[in-house]
Amino acid sequence: MNPTITKTLIGGLVGTLLMSLMMQFAAPMMIGRPMDIAALLGNMMGGIYALGMGAHILLGVVVFPLLYSALLFHLLPGAPWLKGLLFGTLLWLIAATLVMPMAGAGFFMSAIGGIKAAMAALLGHWVYGLMLGAIAGGSSCQHCHSHASL
């Protein structure tokens, strides 16, 4: 059984909030400045910051969590937190290789700090995925839980 929609959306909200805070406050310790996700996404939308912020929130809180729950939850191995971590890694790979180049940040963020920026983004995506997976959890079936931890 998939995680409930409510828990999935709450996981997405918490994950998006924590990732955003990390990019604002933890990234400067790694790359010397904040990583502005909304600005990067906004670059793809005619340079409109508000559209970038809206996309960041919609994707992080609604689209990605529902995709995770509906399609990937049963395909990813391990306990819910590990499923979330793997999902966060997948999102980071897509962002680093497809989205960031389209946003002008380069392949693996080469134009905005290179490996340090890529690692900061990976940490943010891991936190996002961990929160999503841990909060969304899985089914309430005890039999299912005993197998999910294997």
User: What are the residue ranges spanned by the domains of the chain?
Assistant: 5-138
Give me the percent of the chain exceeding a pLDDT of 70: 92
pLDDT confidence tier of residue 40, bands split at 50, 70 and 90? confident
Mean pLDDT of 41-61: 92
Q: Three-state SS across 133-150?
A: HHHHCCCCCHHHHHHHCC
Q: Quote the tokens at residue 140.
A: 């309430």
Mean pLDDT of 119-146: 81
What is the C-alpha separation between 129 and 146, in angstroms, rounded? 22
